[in-house]
Chains A and B, each alone.
Chain A
């Protein structure tokens, strides 16, 4: 599969293309660690979630946590990837105080998940497919605390041994936008699956970004790896900076050194961390403490059958069943919480088929709009999905107009309450009594003979009458009834 073209960068010698690949480290959602029974809970006092195995005491042995295996397989299925029925754990040897064993247990030559693909949406509705090279399971490291003593560093092993999935993309990504969209989509899939909470602030999802540049279609350039990115925006900024840095060096006649770099979000720059020469020789070899990891087709099939609906499937269903635009459907499915909220609204509707699309408009325009304005999250919405469903029901069945609904939404937002009861007690019901509306129409026509003449000559001007009628009915007149009456009384074809 050839990668979709991305944004090119203009240099002094012409256009340059970026070639980007990502290694995403996603913390597996599981109660205990990959090879020990210690808790994975975040935020405990230092060294309170550490087993003898995690601390690499003499004679301790790892035992695989089956839940982590299950989560890795489910993730592989969610990435449309090859599941390897036999995989091998290897030791990656290096010395560092956050790695008590002196090696990380990882998977090198035989990962649990092989090639897959993720469909990523870009602005303007374009989509690109990003290939997945592999997914493997490995242990997370502990954490060094440098601010506890003047001349010593402290070690916290709570995170040490927690399961990570390293998800490696193919170098199919061509610009920062694609990279950001890829991580966003990957995060969304993981969260739908419940295999990673995707919390980048807590470090549950981190990415190493490989960037190189070349003349479009030319041979691959030398890549640099930007380590440990924990924000989607920073990933975008780092790629932009790094690509321009490389182009400048090449255009000045220099060569790119293959190296590992760090992104400084304050300066918006990447800087060198270590060169290729300083790179570790990890001396990978199969971990003799662990047998190869093997399971059958039936195990995989069982997990596949129980997978939840993923964003792409959900989007297709929203479009097919409720006539949502692809854009609206994408907005709703992007975050699992938004999709869940919309699903709950749907479940509360009296007539989903009729009002599903209307409900989507209300969730996206009114609710998201209002939440954004106040900087709030869907999970903290003052208007519940059940309340919103009731409002949409009231519109759909003709009890209130869209305009009144907005007032009602505001009341529910501010004060809460049952929308249907509020409509009752506050007299917000739409007036569909034709004689009542007719009287208002007649009064306005009688009082404004000049406007009548104008409207007869130029039917577009009849809109003025609609406004007047709605105004004097306090917005409660049924707009369709008003239109019909005006049409008849003014003797015009249609009211705009």
Chain B
């Protein structure tokens, strides 16, 4: 059955259409793989009964020729997406055994198109983290290991479960969310493809909110084409989310293989950091050369406000989070720890329900919004955000089609290795990705090579607003040049 799980979505789509196998067979193969891979801790909830029921139903439809773009494809769902009648926790104790009576818009579109849900995937608590170590269900383990080492590595975060599961062949693709790099960084750490769409491209309705002005759902898949296939189903306007944009969803898959000849690719000089590992630098140069070989033109560009992006992000995101997480108060759903007064009940519930990183961000957010500090922190951060956005707009106005950067400053690190003493050490993981969220732009992380220890590294392409298609075209060029990377199975 290994054949069934190592296929791409595109390949499985053909196999299902040709009746080479059924969705139930495909689903069973993945359920078995999930069961055998519990050491990775990628799934926080397996839903085999639901998966088989969905697979049977879609098999019946396929038999009648009524499939859908994702007919029969088994997927994993990040636990940040509300799934009707299926426990949804955001991997926080505070949601406890919360079972939503509603389905997020993005997942309902996947089911509309025929996909099958295998279960819910681990993530950093409320998507706050870059290593998937803040989950109340414990850390996710990266299927990749350093050559000759048994050290458990993190898969990145916050969509660590999604990345790990896709890399380890536990699901054919997964939903993920990206607020500061939560799709692209784990994709880079696991040699998978991750797309952070333009802000407003996917509905946020039914996704547990972290930072509303930055959150965006996107896919993690094993190939650029698969990511494009998933994107088409996930994207679209939703009247229930007024920040989603009413624009037609293009056929992203059609962009795969399109010529990139004559495209202007910006190489931002500010992303060349002091102390950046030589192999990351080398990979970046290599990636540029591949694009050039495909006919693209390379131009050095400047994004002068880049250095302010991370500090500004760590004001805006916690500020919004501190307010978004106020609803977890023990009154209506989730965890309640009693107290002698309503105030004490709030304090007990939230102290018990939130982990350290979430508490830290709620406190930072509360501080930066408080009277007397608002102007100095929140307002200033918003101004920085406007400048960052303008940096990109200026480049695009000069004809730049996309921007190439490393996805992360390093490869995956060990579980428990970073951020213990200084949370900023962890925050620096997002240095190349947060600017994209701050500017609301689309970004894609594509596996591009390995470091000296045999760990995957990724490149990031940043596009113009709503021009995900160009990213898919360019991403595939990188993919073709770099080849695909699969971890050796040890679990």
- Chain A positions within 8 Å of B, measured between CB atoms, are 52, 55-64, 91, 93, 95-97, 100-103, 153, 155, 281, 283-285, 288-291
Contacts and interface: CB of A to CB of B under 8 A. Distances in A.
Contact of A59 (B206, B323, B378): B206
B204 A61 contact: yes
Given A58-B95, A59-B209, A95 B242 contact: no
Interface stretch (B58-66, B98-106, B304-312): B98-106
A455 to B, nearest CB: 86
Given A93-B326, A291-B242, A100 B331 contact: yes
B326 A58 contact: no
B366 A283 contact: yes
Interface stretch (B369-377, B395-403, B472-480): B369-377
B327 A100 contact: yes
B329 A102 contact: yes
A106 B378 CA distance: 19
A284 B366 CA distance: 11
Contacts of A60: 205-206
B211 interface: yes
Given A52-B102, A58-B88, A100-B327, A285 B207 contact: no
Contacts of A102: 323, 325-327, 329
Contact of A285 (B208, B240, B374): B374
Interface in B305-344: 319-320, 322-323, 325-327, 329, 331-333, 342-343
Interface of B: 81-82, 88, 90, 95, 98, 100-102, 104, 204-209, 211-213, 239-243, 319-320, 322-323, 325-327, 329, 331-333, 342-343, 346, 366, 369-371, 374, 378
B212 A288 contact: yes
A55 B328 CA distance: 11
Contacts of B374: 283-285
Nearest to A63: B242
Nearest to B206: A59
Contact of B100 (A57, A61, A63, A285): A57
A52 B241 CA distance: 14
Contacts of B333: 57
A100 B332 contact: yes
Contacts of B81: 59
Most chain B beta carbons < 10 A, residue from A55, A91, A102: A102
A471 B331 CA distance: 78
A56 B242 contact: no
A354 B171 CA distance: 88
Given A61-B204, A289-B212, A155 B331 contact: yes
A6 to B, nearest CB: 34
A288 B346 contact: no
A175 B211 CA distance: 48
B205 A285 contact: no
Nearest to A96: B342
Contacts of A288: 211-213, 243, 320
B338 to A, nearest CB: 10
Given A61-B204, A61-B241, A93-B369, A55 B332 contact: yes
B207 A59 contact: yes
B327 A56 contact: yes
Contacts of A283: 322-323, 366, 369-371, 374
Query: Which among B81, B208, B326, B378 has the greatest number of chain A C-beta atoms within 10 A?
Result: B326
Nearest first, the 8 A-B pairs at minimum CB distance are A102-B326, A288-B212, A283-B369, A288-B213, A56-B327, A59-B206, A58-B208, A281-B371
Nearest to A282: B371
Contact of B242 (A59, A91, A290): A290
A285 B371 contact: no
A281 B367 CA distance: 11
A97 B243 CA distance: 28
B179 to A, nearest CB: 12
A56 B332 contact: yes
A95 B82 contact: no
A91 B322 CA distance: 11
A61 B240 contact: yes
Contacts of A155: 331-332
A153 B341 CA distance: 11
Contacts of A103: 323, 326
B208 A291 contact: no
Contacts of B209: 58-59, 289
A96 B104 CA distance: 27
Contact of A97 (B98, B323, B331): B331
Nearest to A62: B242
Given A95-B326, A101-B327, A102-B329, A58 B211 contact: no
Contacts of B207: 59
Contacts of B325: 102
Contacts of A57: 82, 100, 102, 333
B400 to A, nearest CB: 28
Contacts of B329: 95, 97, 102
A52 B105 CA distance: 14
B239 A63 contact: yes
A58 B82 contact: yes
A56 B208 CA distance: 11
24 contacts: A52-B102, A57-B102, A58-B88, A59-B206, A60-B206, A61-B204, A63-B242, A95-B329, A95-B346, A97-B329, A100-B331, A101-B326, A101-B327, A102-B323, A102-B327, A283-B366, A283-B371, A284-B374, A285-B319, A288-B213, A289-B209, A290-B242, A291-B242, A291-B243
Nearest to A93: B323
A101 B212 CA distance: 14
B386 to A, nearest CB: 13
B82 A59 contact: yes
B82 A285 contact: no
A97 B205 contact: no
Contacts of A281: 370-371
A59 B326 contact: no
* Max count, chain A CB within 10 A of own CB: residue among B95, B204, B327: B327
A64 B240 CA distance: 10
Contact of A63 (B240, B332, B370): B240
A289 B329 CA distance: 20
Contacts of B370: 281, 283
Given A61-B243, A101-B326, 20 more contacts: A56-B327, A58-B95, A58-B98, A58-B209, A59-B104, A59-B208, A61-B241, A61-B242, A63-B240, A91-B323, A93-B326, A93-B369, A95-B329, A97-B331, A102-B326, A284-B369, A285-B323, A285-B378, A290-B242, A290-B243
Nearest to A64: B242
A91 B323 CA distance: 8
A446 to B, nearest CB: 92
Q: Which of A56, A95, A283 has the most CB of B within 10 A?
A: A283
Contacts of A291: 242-243
A93 B369 CA distance: 10
Nearest to B320: A288
